[in-house]
Structure 1
């Protein structure tokens, strides 16, 4: 029996509040109603300010921000987003940003850097030249934060900017920027804490180097120390020559085999989940059974649940990172006194446009460093 309309709309509201955003087609399937019926519900709920409509889906309304008023001052704004790629985890980040931006009547343009040196600045300048009112930035910082002498340009932009999945240390000019990122240290620590709760006393961390690695290792080491666990064999240092893709994978395999057979390791956190899945048959071929000899948790949950041995996994909230970063940037833009339209966009020139907006933006409230906690999904 189909639920009564009020019950159905209550359930829609519960799901949207729990998940942040939901696609209409997925929601209709889950509730067992037609998309046409659900869209009628959405129209009524949007009119009452209970949800906000976006391209292909709906989103929750933030406390204190009525849905009907959300698009008022953001309609027509253009947001530029600089990211290394739109593949893998960044696809969710971009999707979250796009949904938030379109829900508020603004438009998103993406610039891709493909991790090329200096390309992030080139893409940022290109987006500004085409009229971007603000920027979401994921610079090509190999360790997730800038090296000495790197990245100061991000704090010198003529428009508001938010760092996405990047951070800058205290004292660096970019540390004064708004930023939104997954708390990878918390995610790694949570995985260690779960494995320790299962009785494992020697837990390893393995995987390729990414911008998240430094934070992962910091959280891992902090949890090992806090829980009084026995240290795992040290991770092999990087050599003078960068490893190939095959070399990176072989390093993880060799390390884990040695850690189990000679180092007494019984569990590991592997970054990321694709590598973890590929490691399982190769570990078993070398006499290390999973999970009997080595329990694995993957960091990243794109495909971990699809493994022959479904893996427990830590999922950074990438979709929510993109959404929160976009909302933060739009909030900055709408509290600078900036009006929408070409007359006051970046193309008005440096005399009256960007500098005035940036200066005003700095007076609208303290900058925010937002860390969103990853979620651990347990599978058996």
Structure 2
């Protein structure tokens, strides 16, 4: 039986603790999993301060980060339900932030995982309410970037305070009056384009994973960035599927039609890097790359500059917003809140020389 994510990460910690330092390729061989999977686990553990990444290797941290102050969960303390599509990749850090904020406030967090299946949303919400959830933090699997009328009725029909997490309702809709905490992905993509343009790149392409709720916002930010810098999209690849675009981009780079690419997500960026290297094209000399998500971008052969959504802070802020709502007196008319958190641009070798990269 394949080990779970937790079991695999514990094995990584054990190996690094025993040997002091290991390369990602060595860890992958020990675990019998792909290098991409191992990089993702290492990135997660490094973000938590449980490992250090040094020059392509991982080492045991010199000292552990101090544990956050937590208040014990008391009888009658708030119970918060958190629905997310997955407990890995993007949402692992969101969960960590929510868990830490709930524990620090003396609240209990109940987790529901929908596995990106829309039909699981209702079942997971019902389970959390049955477990005594006083309020809900929801990342529902809507068919589009905003809810349909039926999906909106479902959310509005819940009888407990609700905060949307990384989901937006259409302006002017009833669901838009719910509290929400989101990443400003439009700003993140725009910042990436402005960074590339500031480096002198003028033919900036977009490689987008269309099936994610983030895709539309990244596209909007990309075009806003081009407009702000007075640039045009070098060639329209929107009519082709993701795999076709991946295959075509090295040709466009070789023809000097493209000199930079914003890639959503990290996985697509790593695959594109491999395609470019197979053609003998250099990053960043021939083409600069910026990944979007920053889950494992730093672990690429050429560490990738990346837009990093504030995933942990999203979980923390959402819990704080829900706790504030639960603490209100009955009949309170305090305004609803929409909080947008700005992602960070983390500059690495794929867009800068060694002197400029961090």
Q: TM-score, normalised by structure 2?
A: 0.75
**Which residue is 1:151 aligned to?**
152
345, 354, 357: which one aligns with 1:376: 345
Do the aligned partners of residues 163 and 33 (structure 1) sit closer, same or farther apart at CA in structure 2, a change above 3 Å counting?
A: closer
* Cα distance in 2 for residues equivalent to 1:30 and 1:277: 26
Shift of 1:235: 3.0
Do the aligned partners of residues 132 and 216 (structure 1) sit closer, same or farther apart at CA in structure 2, a change above 3 Å counting?
A: same
Shift of 1:258: 4.5
* Cα distance in 1 for residues equivalent to 2:314 and 2:297: 21
* Cα distance in 1 for residues equivalent to 2:259 and 2:207: 13
227, 230, 238: which one aligns with 1:236: 238
In structure 1, the gaps of 5 or more residues are 1-21, 40-51, 56-70, 239-246, 338-359
Is the 1:164–1:179 Cα contact (8 Å) retained in structure 2? yes
- Secondary structure at the aligned position of 2:163 is classed as strand
Deviates more, 1:255-264 or 1:157-166: 255-264
Shift of 1:294: 1.3
| 1:129-165 Cα deviation digits (max 9, x unpaired) | 2211000000002443224543331122100000001
Q: Does 1:128 align with 2:149?
A: no
| 1:108-137 Cα deviation digits (max 9, x unpaired) | 111111121322122112211221100000
In structure 2, the gaps of 5 or more residues are 1-46, 52-58, 350-358
**Which residue is 1:366 aligned to?**
335
211, 214, 230: which one aligns with 2:213: 211
Do the aligned partners of residues 336 and 256 (structure 1) sit closer, same or farther apart at CA in structure 2, a change above 3 Å counting?
A: farther
Matches within 5 A, 1:75-94: 76-94=77-95
Count of paired positions: 296
Q: TM-score, normalised by structure 1?
A: 0.71
Do the aligned partners of residues 25 and 266 (structure 1) sit closer, same or farther apart at CA in structure 2, a change above 3 Å counting?
A: closer
Q: Does 1:53 align with 2:69?
A: yes
Shift of 1:336: 3.4
Q: Does 1:319 align with 2:288?
A: no
| 1:318-377 Cα deviation digits (max 9, x unpaired) | 10001000110011001135xxxxxxxxxxxxxxxxxxxxxx3xx341111110000011
Do the aligned partners of residues 32 and 282 (structure 1) sit closer, same or farther apart at CA in structure 2, a change above 3 Å counting?
A: closer
* Cα distance in 1 for residues equivalent to 2:233 and 2:267: 26
Do the aligned partners of residues 316 and 23 (structure 1) sit closer, same or farther apart at CA in structure 2, a change above 3 Å counting?
A: closer
Is the 1:162–1:179 Cα contact (8 Å) retained in structure 2? yes
**Which residue is 2:263 aligned to?**
270
**Which residue is 2:278 aligned to?**
285
Please report the RMSD computed on the Cα atoms of aligned residues, expressed in angstroms. 2.9
Shift of 1:253: 0.9
* Cα distance in 2 for residues equivalent to 1:117 and 1:172: 21
